[in-house]
Structure 1
Amino acid sequence: MADINEAASALQRLVDLTPTSDAYLPNRLSNLGLALTGRFERTGDLSDISNAISQLQKAIMLTPEGHSELPGYLTNIGSAFTSRFERTGDLSDNTQAISAQRKAVDATPQGHDDLPTLLSNLCISLHQRFQRDRELSDNTEAVSMQKRAVELAGVGHPNLAAYLCNLGNMFMSRFEWTGELSDISEAVVAQQKAIALIPDGHGAIPILLRNLGNSFSRRFERTGDVSDITEAISAQRRAVDLTPQGDVELPGRLDSLSGALSRRFERTGELSDISEAISAQQKAIALAPQDHAYLPSLLTNLGVCLNHRFERTGNLSDITEAISAQQRGVDIAPPGHANLPSWLNNLGVSLYRRSKATGDMSDIDDAISTQQRAADVASLSGGHAAIPSILVSLGTSIEVRFERTGDVNDLNECISHYKAASISSLGSPQIRLGAAKDWAHSLTRYSPQSPEIITAFDIALSLVALIAGLEQTVRGRYTQLQGSSGLALEAAAAACTLGRVDKALEWLEQGRCLVWSQINNLRTPLDDLRLHDQDLAQRIADVSKRLENAGSSRAQSNISMSTTEKISLEDEGRAHLDLAKEWEGLLGTVRATPGFESFLRPPPCAFLMQHLPESGVIVVINVDKRRCDAIALRAGWDEPLHIPLPNFSTEKAIQYRVDLTSRLRARNLRVREAGESTLRDIEVSDSEVAPRGIWSAFAEKRGEDPLVHRVLRGLWEEVIKPILEALKLLKVDKSSESTPPRLWWCPTGPLSFLPLHAAGVYRGANPECVFDYVVSSYTPTVTAMNDRVKNRRPIDAETSGLFLTNQPNAPGASPISGTTKEVRAISEKARESQIRMEKLEGSDMTVNACLEHMQKFSSIHLACHGSQNAAEPLRSRFLFHQGSLELGTILKSNLKNADLAFLSACQTSTGEEKLSDEAVHLAAGMLAAGYRRVVGTMWSIGDQPAQDVAVKFYEHIFTQMKRTGGVAFDGTHSAYALHDATQQLRLSLDDSERSLLTWVPFVHFGY
């Protein structure tokens, strides 16, 4: 400060000593103006900036048109007007800044060294007007000119970092308006490059860090990627730490840090984050001048933070303080400010939440009034990005009033607002998805027969696909899908209520297993398209392969990486976005071609009915809190059969899962250890499990069914038996020798974690179970079965055969482990049957060797440990002596002739509760990799039962081959083989709970 004070004093004295006629006076006036502007930017003293503008105006007046110094004076006064606009919010200052800077650019010849700076200064002013008025043309012009400034400056230019920083800010602002991920990616990269150009200790570092942190925060809001918000907080903390006390920029940097902490709190619920956010925001307000243009934003943001803490703690003082701060912010906001609608809406949300807590109707009335004003102000701009969010909030407040008053006009109005928000072309997809959900929920709750329910759920499910699009990594898509879990099930339940079982089936197919469906779409056969347009088909094939690789192979950024590494990752991300856009363009081209209008669109019910297995039935079971239904499909039927399940419920499904899980934990069935010969039976002291285990033991002593028996009985009586009765599959004579028919189960929600194939009554005078009537398989979706039926192929003679591998012995295990015995027993049976077979054991088994053999053999038997990664399913893996084989690696291998995979490993078909309808397990992954059928396990298995089932399984297949005279190893009979092998194990045991848990986990997936 001493330097700038001395400079201003010396320059003022120099001006005072210079005669009016002196040719150097304009230059000296301009230098004084620059010094005063610099001091203002540090202190915020309005008298300095007003004096600076006055000196610069005199310099311009004294300079003739065409003078070489005039562009510099014009851009300097433009910068001064910009600084005052940032402080006061007076739009006339911004207008004068733009006018002066345009003149400066126009007066500067092409190729002049100063042109990049003049362009950049004009861009800053245009960007500020865009932030205030939200006129997209201003942002478009600013981005275009800022890019030109960067290009003209070139590598080594002293101001390049500043130009890149400005360009990043402009992209970030456009992202806030358009929601285009490519914009925020461009922002991050530009700001990272700017930081890389500035040496440590430079005064500009805090500015660059704050801007970069803001971009990461905005992207986190869109993608939910935790690494983004971690980067944001790290950058904002450094920006605050590097800013000296008394710096006029400190309040803004504290505000940005507060915002990042608040966003992380919304994700994690960590109270320390929101407490720190509130503290930082309060400090920012205390430091900011009371007439600062930024103060309304600081006050509003404080209210948002307090609101978040109130939701967590219920402390009324927080919500009262939030309302007070936000009301003050609205009161002092400049008329016509672009952010006024958002500030009003946030105030309305706080009033709504206090009303919900206290029951005070006056707060709800005030909330509605405030939010209606926000909507009115936003609509005046003709295209405010906050409109969908405001409409959702307004609809929510009006719905609360309807619930208390019963006024039908309120109901109609709230539904109208939800609808308008969901179909808006503005706002983020997440906000519009929330609106569509609210629209659908309100209709199903208050008007369950409304035909608009179909439209509402159609829009909602299409938005789910949009927010979890191919431009994101598989990990990112699963993160997005967690917030929409159960939506397809709710939609299907509503459709069943309307008598639209066709729509229910379509929605279940569209909204479940979305990521696997995306991978399948990228691998769709293009034979028909090649006949029509070979070049187009090849372009699609090339882009789809690159997209699949980008989705599964992109690394995740972390704060320990160097800036260069982070920039490289961002470049990969931008390339991924470009690929996704190219893919969408190619889809549009194909769909515009006659005969290909439905190419890769969600299939209609009629199409799903066309490609079903020739024998057997597919049964989709929908579980929703409103109702439960089964939908049966059989080849030759014109439409699906609707089977209501009135005695079943979501609550029962959840309870059955909790009960089953408690017994598995109590019996320690979570890990299969090499060398283990029997299932261990160890009670644990876990507070959730032990009481249930003890209770179950007492129940058995009283003659009641143990927990697992009750689960299987409940599934039989409430779900399976009504379905089999409706399908007329319950035989009178269960001892009949005839081959039972096939049945494919496609469960949803919590039912996905329960063993439908084993449902039954196993004690009493008349035991019966699924095994008595059908051969069970599972399929993640109907479409997965359609694909296998449509793309049936003969077994390739060259690859027909069986590849066997096993897990090495664990330290301290017996010399020959259970998995080794299993593989050797199977290989001996294969030799006896003269089956083409190869076996690799222990250290001979490497990842590359396994992949090579998977290409050479149509079928594989993996007797090893499996590791499921629910957060990143493509990183689920099989563990070998030398490394591990990830599912993502298998998917890339393009196994064209894959037939059967027998996964004799732990929990290979266990799902993830947060993604119950995404089938994030190894069995589904192997289906996605190309295997037509997969045998897996629902929980850990003992070595001896695993060996018994596996050997009997292959004996059955080898016997069938002999009967039919086949020479190629073929998994066609795998479902019957597993049925027979499991049945033999079952009949060799008693009917105890321990015995059930021994044979029940074996399951069959696929054709």
Structure 2
Amino acid sequence: MLRLLPPGHPEQDTAQGNLAMMLAARGTRGDLEDAVALWRRGLARTRRGSHEWALACGQLAQGLYEMFTAEGDVSELDEAERLLGGALGLLPRTGRGDVLRGNYAIVLSTRHQVVRPDPGGLDRAIGIFEDLIRRKADPSAPELPGWAATHLAQALVNRYTDRSDPADLARARELGSPPDGSTVPGSRLAASAAIGADIQATVAMYEYLTDARQADVDQAIHDQQRAVDQSGDDPVRRGPTVINLATTLAMRHYARRDAAPTHPSAGSGDIATDLTRALELLRGLRTADTPVPYRGGAMALHGMLLMDRYMTDPGRYAADPAMADQLLSSALELPMDYRSRIGARLRLAYSRLAIAHSTGDANGLDAAVALMRGAVSDIPPQSPLHAGALGCLADVLQTRAQTTGMPEHQREGTELCREICRNDADSDRAAVYLAARGWAQWAWRRGAMDEVAEAGRIALPLLYDIAALQLGREGKAVPLRQADRLSARTAFALVAVGQSAAAAIALETGRALMLGEVMQREHPDLLSLMDSDYHNLVSRFRRAAERLTSVERRLLFGPQDAPVIDGARESYRARLDEMDDVVQDIRRLPGFGTFLRPPALADLTGTAASCRSTLVYLAATDRGGVALVVPRTAAVPPAARTRTGPGTEVTAVPLPRLTTDFEQSSVAALRLALERDVEHGDRDAAERSMDELTGRLWKSVMEPVVQAVGSGTDMVLIPDGPLGTLPLHAAAYPDPSAPTGRRFVIDDLPVAMAPSARTLSIAVARTPAPVHRVLAVRDPRPSSEVLLPGAVSEIERIRDVLPPSVRVLELHGAAATRQGVQQALVDVQICHFACHAHAYPDRPLDGGLSLAGDASLTVRDMFAMPSISARLAVLSACDSGRFDETLPEEVVGLATGFFQAGFAAVLAALWPLEDAPAAAQMALTYRHWLSDGMSLPAAVRSAMVWIRDSTNGQKAAAFPELDFAPGDPAATADAEWLSTRDHSSPLVWAAFVCLGI
């Protein structure tokens, strides 16, 4: 048609413009070039400075921008900016003029992001978008405000990347919300939804980088997948969203590296698959489907992922650094945005470092450091990415120092770590924590205990805060697993530099964080506010705590292994923010500045005083172990004193044999003894194994501890890691004068256990109400479990020692249901379970007590129980004292479930029980405690000693109803049998531990 019109025809410009738009709509490079050529021709025929000329400039600029998007030629973007800048002054602030103003803002924002940083241009773009949103939509462009809001969100994210202003990120999050309702992928509405989801994913990623909250990276992947799904087949839209999805998957891989459960039967979930999926996405992305400005970024990301894969298994993926080097080098020759270019240079430095490290090439190491320095220097100091990039540089410097061994290289790496921790502690706790943790690990390998102590004291409080920010138990488990004995190593190093009190604080800070977080919601300090002018803060705190607990309970029983995203994430975050607000208000009160902060020495000494017991922390490392003794008074023998604080004495007891290897071999030895006894029925071999184990525990751990604490002193052990699974109270040495020929720890002092000092202090502070009601649960039926022959007698013996005023609610048979037990627990002071229990190392929350109908009262149930106030839970059931072996520092198990639910103390079994001795032991414990007035740990000790030292005849006489006698009645008259001690082995009497006092 255009050819049919003669030159100068009045419809020629219109026809030419229509043809150009149709060509541009087809989107191929040739069609775009033809369209731009037509628009140039039309612009040349238009009078410069006229209204029509301004519109023609805008049309040509749009075509140039689309060409830049397809091919990445920066000159086309620059020309688009000049054209729009010259046209805007000629157009009114309405209609088509506003559309071109918005296009100008997009060009400015794109130039800042893709070509070169231009903070002034980005601010101008944001100002234009803000103005378009504020003004009412023109009837000729009704979609303009929504369109401007989407692009404003993108521009605000760009500015946040440079300046770290939280207000920019919060506004972007608000503006980038995708439209409600379903959309058709590839449609115009879907395109808007894809952009919105992409923005939300980016915001979530930056939130993760700030707080290391695992739910944020899960949300980013979820949102980015939605963006991909809505993009359809349009390569301009789909390619970048696929690249972004691969980026977020790689970020989650990095976020959860080294956080997989270590138990061999525990799965690693998506941790190992994220990197594989990201690589598959990039391999499946055809070059033709990726706009040129993004091809370099995609290639660079592929190289980065190969380096990440190499770091997971250098032996298996030894060829990856060379491939990554090639990809990254090629990517840097292509157009890409400046942030991707910086990231590519960072990873190229890593690949060069890996190659130089493997070959010992000193020049290559220096070149890698120089490349990393150059990339870091291009990141604005106020950017949220700056501290993390400095951490990468510190990592590179540490690797160089490790390779060369040169002192100046070590000093350089150390000083950079200090600089990060000093300068970024208030702005980027996640990056500072990673830097401090990495520094501590590096210093530990070098044996630089002063640096381990310094770095660990920075990292541990940050770990405390980061764990508290996580949404749900699985999220909290990630940083806690990654810590990898950080508290134990820090404590060991602090002892080495003469800071024993700080060492005890380090162990307390890293111990039972999840349990302590929940239990501290009933913090005893709040009681002092009840009768003050601030009583309203107590009400606010309790209301906020109950709302937060309610959300946590819903998560416990929601779909397992499902990420906390969308509504659940928002609800959880809102409850955490509500709790944080009231906690901050309480901290502003005089004397409450440390409320719910990481522990201080006063928390430890106060617990020891209130419990009237000496606290003993135990920790093992690969360099040896340490015990830290916090006495109930300051009266420590002068020769043993290590002064570490005004008026307070903390004794450090070196335990050089207590290594992690010793710890693991001891756990294996215990399992071997139990296997010989339970599975093979070889009691003699099992007892010999147990005797060997308890002897090793005495020489390597408990002998110096008992000497430091002193005979007759009540002691509470707070063991780190798997030590809590071992019978430390049964550690022994030969003693010919003893009835069994051996003397045990419990012969010198009562022993209780505690997850931490903070949880113990809260348990002790719970109102010790008089015992009015006891719940006794036995023999649930129907059940696939065998009946326990001594259960009836066990409960009857308990009835005998209780005061007449105490009511016993007994649930057995069909009455012992899960629901019935849960309801009864709310209104008793003591509960006693004589039944079976099961522990599952790979899913500890599902372990529990077996009830009627083969139902279970699980760890999950107890964690979700409404807060109650009770004195004692007795779990006279096999394995009821076992806990999560993949995260031992958190002590996640059935016993701590009852502890968290509100019981001041729990008796539980570390291994399977023998029926008659267990029943007798429980009866004796109650008698000594309730009738004889002993403390609970002392009552447990006395019962153990009697079971151990009494003869068969004495047991048969004291407990005729229990099955102590042999099958042949005539044997009961045999003098040899009557005088024998068949239950003297710790295998029989040492299974129970007393959690709390």
TM-score for both structures, normalised by structure 2: 0.79
Deviation at 1:410, TM superposition (A): 1.4
Q: Contact conserved, 2:837 with 2:849, CA < 8 A, in 1?
A: yes
Q: Deviations over 1:763-821 (max 9, x none)?
A: 988511112111111011122333345x36442x5x6331122352354666x554852
Q: How far, CA to CA, are the matches of 1:560 and 1:644 in structure 2?
A: 41
Shift of 1:304: 1.6
Aligned-residue sequence identity (percent) comes to: 19
1:707 alignment partner, SS class: helix
* Secondary structure of 2:697 counterpart: helix
Tell me how far 1:415 sits from its aligned partner.
1.1
2:277, 2:449 → 1: CA distance?
A: 48
Counterpart amino acid of residue 323 in structure 2 = E
- Corresponding residue for 2:521? 522
1:975 to 929, 933, 937: 937
| Aligned-partner Cα distance in 2 for 1:420–1:392 | 10
Residue pairs, 1:46-195, within 5 angstroms: 47=33, 50-51=36-37, 54=40, 74=58, 77=61, 81=65, 84=68, 87-88=71-72, 90=74, 93=77, 100=84, 128=110, 131-132=113-114, 138=122, 193-194=178-179
Q: Is the 8 A contact 1:146 1:166 kept in 2?
A: no
* 2:958 corresponds to 1:986: no
Whichever residue aligns with residue 354 of structure 2, its letter is R
Could you tell me which of 974, 986, 989 is aligned with 1:999?
A: 989
User: Aligned partners of 2:694, 2:374: CA distance in 1, in Å?
Assistant: 57
Cα–Cα, structure 1 residues 603 and 20, in superposed 2: closer, same or farther, change >3 Å? Answer: farther
Greater mean deviation of Cα atoms: 214-223 or 609-618 = 214-223
Deviation at 1:845, TM superposition (A): 3.9
CA drift at 1:307: 2.0
1:318: which partner in 2?
A: 320
Structure 1 partner of 2:956: none
Q: Supply the distance in 2 between the matched residues of 1:535 and 1:428 (Cα, whole angstroms).
A: 33
Q: Map Cα deviations across residues 363-403 of structure 1 (whole Å, 9 max, x no partner).
A: 3222112112112222xx34343333332333333333333
Q: Which of 791, 806, 815 is 1:844 aligned to? A: 815
Deviations 1:254-287 (A, max 9, x none): 5345445655666559888756644543454743
What letter corresponds to residue 831 of structure 2 in structure 1? I
Give the counterpart of 1:580 among 576, 580, 583: 576
Which residue in 1 is equivalent to 2:353? 352
Q: 1:39–1:48: 8 Å Cα contact kept in structure 2?
A: no
Determine if contact 1:750/1:916 at 8 Å carries over to the other structure: yes
SS in 1 for 2:831: strand
* 1:157-180 per-position Cα deviation (integer Å, ceiling 9, x unaligned): 989997887677668767877899
- 2:920 aligns with 948
- 1:697-728 per-residue CA deviation (whole Å, 9 max, x = no partner) reads 8x89xxxx833322211111111011111233
Q: Is 1:546 paired with 2:583?
A: no
| SS of equivalent residue, structure 1 residue 468 | helix
Q: Secondary structure at the match of 2:629?
A: strand
Instruction: Kindly state the Cα deviation for residue 522 of structure 1 after the two structures are TM-superposed.
Output: 2.5
- Change in Cα spacing, 1:628 to 1:44, as seen in structure 2 (3 Å) is farther
Rounded to whole Å, the distance in 2 between the matches of 1:871 and 1:118 is 60
CA 170–655 in structure 1, closer or farther in 2 if over 3 Å, else same:
farther
Report if the CA contact (8 A) 1:911-1:921 is conserved.
yes
The CA distance in 2 between the partners of 1:1000 and 1:143, in whole Å, is 73
CA offset at residue 498 of structure 1? 0.8
**Partner residue, 1:304:** 304
Aligned partner of 1:675 in structure 2 is: none
2:959 — aligned with what? none
- The 1:532/1:148 distance shift into structure 2, 3 A limit, reads farther
Question: 2:689 is matched with which residue: 689, 692, 707?
Answer: 707
**Match of 1:853, SS?**
helix
C-alpha contact (below 8 Å) 1:609/1:639 kept by paired residues: no
**8 Å contact kept, 1:185–1:573:** no
Structure 1 residue 985 displacement after superposition: 3.0
Alignment of 1:287 onto 2:269 = no
Deviations 1:708-756 (A, max 9, x none): 3222111111110111112332xxxxxxxxxx54211111123222221
Question: Structure 2 CA distance, aligned partners of 1:56 and 1:759?
Answer: 95
Classify 1:370/1:533 alpha carbon distance in 2 versus 1 (closer, same or farther; 3 Å).
same
Question: What residue is the counterpart of 1:38 in the other structure?
Answer: 25
**Distance verdict in 2 for CA 1:310–1:958, change over 3 Å:** closer
Q: Does the 8 A contact of 2:186 with 2:230 survive in 1?
A: no
Select which of 325, 330, 335 maps to 2:332.
Answer: 330
How many Å separate the matches in 1 of 2:132 and 2:947? 74
Asked if the contact 2:730–2:744 (Cα under 8 Å) also holds between the matched residues in 1, the reply is yes
Judge conservation of contact 1:75–1:104 (CA < 8 Å) in 2: no
Given candidates 636, 642, 651, the residue that maps to 1:641 is 651
Q: Distance in 2 between matches of 1:991 and 1:91?
A: 94
The 8 Å contact of residues 522 and 548 in structure 1, kept in 2 or not, is answered as: no
| Distance in 2 between residues matched to 1:107 and 1:908, nearest whole Å | 79
Counterpart for residue 930 of structure 1: 902
* Structure 2 equivalent of residue 854 of structure 1: 825
CA–CA separation in structure 1 for the residues paired with 2:849 and 2:128: 50
- The structure-2 alpha-carbon separation of the partners of 1:548 and 1:59, relative to structure 1 and needing over 3 Å to count, comes to farther
Match of 2:182 among 197, 211, 235: 197
Q: Give the count of matched residue pairs.
A: 923
| 1:601-623 Cα distance to aligned partner (Å, 9 max, x none) | 22321442234246432111122
Residue 141 and residue 207 in structure 1: after superposition, are their counterparts in 2 closer, same or farther (change >3 A)?
closer
Three-state SS of the structure 2 residue aligned to 1:914 is coil
Cα shift at 1:945: 4.0
Q: CA 1:60 to 1:261, structure 2 compared with 1: closer, same or farther past 3 Å? A: farther
The letter of the residue matching 1:321 is M
1:328: Cα distance to partner? 1.9
Partner of 2:374: 373
Q: 1:274 to 1:848 in 2, by over 3 A?
A: closer
Tell me what 1:725 maps to.
707
Report the Cα distance in structure 1 between the residues aligned to 2:943 and 2:846, rounded to whole angstroms: 31
Q: Distance in 2 between matches of 1:91 and 1:578?
A: 47
Answer yes or no: is the 8 Å Cα contact 2:848–2:880 preserved in 1. Answer: no
Q: Give the distance between the partners of 2:383 and 2:515, measured in 1 at CA.
A: 36
Counterpart contact for 1:470–1:518, Cα < 8 Å = no
Instruction: Sort the Cα spacing of 1:206 and 1:354 in 2 relative to 1 into closer, same or farther, 3 A.
Output: farther
**Alignment match, 1:409:** 408
Deviations 1:402-459 (A, max 9, x none): 3344432211111122223344549964443221123334445557464x65542232
Taking the TM superposition and a 5 Å limit, the aligned residue runs for 1:425-444 are 425=424, 429-443=429-443
Task: For 1:840, give the aligned amino acid.
Answer: L
The structure-2 alpha-carbon separation of the partners of 1:119 and 1:493, relative to structure 1 and needing over 3 Å to count, comes to: farther
Q: Indicate conservation of the 8 Å contact 1:120/1:146, yes or no.
A: no
3-state SS of 2:775 partner: strand
Q: 1:515 to 1:817 in 2, by over 3 A?
A: same
Change (3 A) 1:20 1:471: farther
Rounded Cα–Cα distance in structure 2 between residues aligned with 1:832 and 1:620:
37
Matched letter for residue 770 of structure 1? V
Matching residue's letter, 1:295: R
The answer for unaligned runs of 5 or more in structure 1 is 1-9, 668-679, 684-692, 730-739, 962-971
1:226-255 deviations in whole A, cap 9, x for unaligned? Answer: 965874796588579x537xx455543553
Residue 327 of structure 1 deviates from its aligned partner by 1.5
- Residue equivalent to 2:605: 609
